Amino acid sequence: MAFHKIAIGVILALALSTAALQGVAAGASATSAPSAQAQDVAQGSLYPRLDGRQGEQKVLVLLVEFPDLAHNLMISSIRNEFSRVASYFYTVSYGEIYLTVNVSQRWYMANRSIGDYLSGGDGYNALRAFAEEAFAMADGDVDFSAYDSVVILHAGSSAQFGGSSYTLDGLGIETGDGATLECIMIDAEYDRWVLIAHEYCHALGLPDLYDYASYSSGSYFSFYAGPWDIMSNDYRYEESALTSWNLIRLGWMPDRSVRTVMPSETAACNVNELGKLSGSRYGAIRIQLNDGTYYLVECRLPVRYDEKMPDFGVLITHVNESIEPGYGPLRVIDSTPSTGTLDDAVFDLRAGKTAVFLDEENDVSVVVLRLLSANGLGFTIEVTDYANGQLALETAQFLLDAKDRVTSRFYVLDVFGERAAVEEAFDTYATGDFQGAYKQAQDAIGIYWLDVSIRIAVAVAVVAAVVLVAVFRKKVRELRRRIDKKIDPLKYPETLPDGRADLR
């Protein structure tokens, strides 16, 4: 599969620059007294906050073709693909950034044929040389100093060029107009917008979230995060949003939208659908563990860029900021490990899903309490200790079974209001009173069985009464007929003596 991959050079550059970035973060924390959250991120982390990813981002797209491979697409269709990239970032960033994209007026002709550039085996330097060549060709027409980033878009597919799209960081290429370009992306003419957006995320500083080891062995490579982030999605579902981890790092999901809870603590919070911030609801819940590890809890519902996701519900991820990109710094917690895919990893309080995540070691549980629909979609979630989580799990299962029973098609009459009673039990569960909810549901189901026996008795009585009435009426008719026969016909002649008709 033609997939894009961050170049080796980028990983090296990232590793090299980590120390410097940490230095910056440490310096900032000394002067500006940041929140506890910011400190947690800064300590021993490979993933510090990414600053300055706000406002207008000017992107230049430089078109390059080869002596042996001319371009095919119209410049207008390339502009169109980039406008989809721009819409994506405007939406997922909650309007924090907007891209203005300029596509070069013409295709520049490269010096060598397409297969030559990456044939030497020295990937990073070969790509760098290709970039330098492209910049030199366009330098007369373009003021590079006017742009924040540059995409070199070459003719053909990435498979023809080197098998992948690339983002190169730490380049330091000087152009004729005095600009120094640190970061470029190399995409192919036939790359879909979602791949270009993935590369642009690298340019913003985000790591790959799929698994490099399984990617190079050719097997399913996104098992760390499945389809739930554009940095791991293999695009079977076309597109996806960014997980809250990336949104928080980029500063697009502000601190006030993230609620931090400590293990063993119990806290219920309303969490909004990812992609819609709201004053009264959180975008994510962070459960702080230790050593730069934590859980993030977020809602993923079939709206916006999650519209084509295979499932919806509450997504829980485990973040370990000491793990390198491509080795699972973020891992999605699978609610259904038996299915062997992360497509259905989300938690939810509905039939067939698991409503509670349990972590005995850290004394943490995450309970899905209820789906919210007023003021946008979301969930009420409770973070609690392990024991309470176990109780919640048992209750949720019992409630779902009870609901299944009282809404089954064999259940026709609802004279005792068991359906309402079970609904009430769900309401009680949503307040976090799991014991109370269990008892309520149990009582409702008890009424149900009592109800069934009474209904059977009533039905038998009604049938018996109907039969009795029928038998009685038949008897009465027979009796009347017999009485009629016994009456002497002479006393009551058919025709009266005066010739008038029967008067009976």
Binding site for Zn ion (CB under 5 A): 6, 208
Answer yes or no: are the C-beta atoms of 153 and 188 closer than 8 Å: yes
Whole-number minimum distance, CB 253 to Zn ion, in Å?
Answer: 21
CB-based burial, 340-365: b 16+ in 10 Å, e otherwise: ebbbbbbbbbeeebbbbbbbeeebbb
Name which of 208 and 239 has its Cβ closer to Zn ion. Answer: 208
Cβ at position 10, least distance to Zn ion in Å: 9
Distance CA 56, CA 49 (A): 19
Residues in Cβ contact with 26 at an 8 Å cutoff, skipping those fewer than 6 apart? 42
Of residues 246 and 380, the one with the C-beta less far from Zn ion: 246
Outline where DSSP puts E strands in 274-416.
284-288, 293-300, 313-320, 330-332, 356-359, 364-372, 378-384
Angle between helices 386-406 and 418-430 in degrees, nearest 10? 160
Nearer to Zn ion, 6 or 346 (CB): 6
171 vs 430, which CB is nearer to Zn ion?
171
Q: Closest approach of Cβ 179 to Zn ion, in Å?
A: 25
End-to-end CA distance of the chain: 100
Residue 10 or 42 with smaller CB distance to Zn ion: 10
Tell me the C-alpha distance between 186 and 196, whole Å: 9
Taking the complex as a whole, the smallest distance from the CB of residue 14 to Zn ion amounts, in Å, to 12
Report, in Å, the least distance between residue 109 CB and Zn ion: 28
Phi, psi of 299 (to 5 degrees): -100, 130
Burial of 456 (0-12, 13-18, 19+ CB in 10 A): exposed
Question: The tokens 């098992």 sit on which residue?
Answer: 223
User: Hunting for tokens 């390059």 — which residue is that?
Assistant: 64
Residue (149 or 257) nearer to Zn ion, CB: 149
Q: How far is the CB of 93 from Zn ion (least distance, A)?
A: 19
* Residue 158 contacts residue 165 (beta carbons within 8 Å): yes
CB of 239 to Zn ion, least distance (A): 15
The residue (of 208 and 229) whose beta carbon lies closer to Zn ion is 208
CB of 417 to Zn ion, least distance (A): 56
Among residues 233 and 354, whose Cβ is nearest to Zn ion?
233
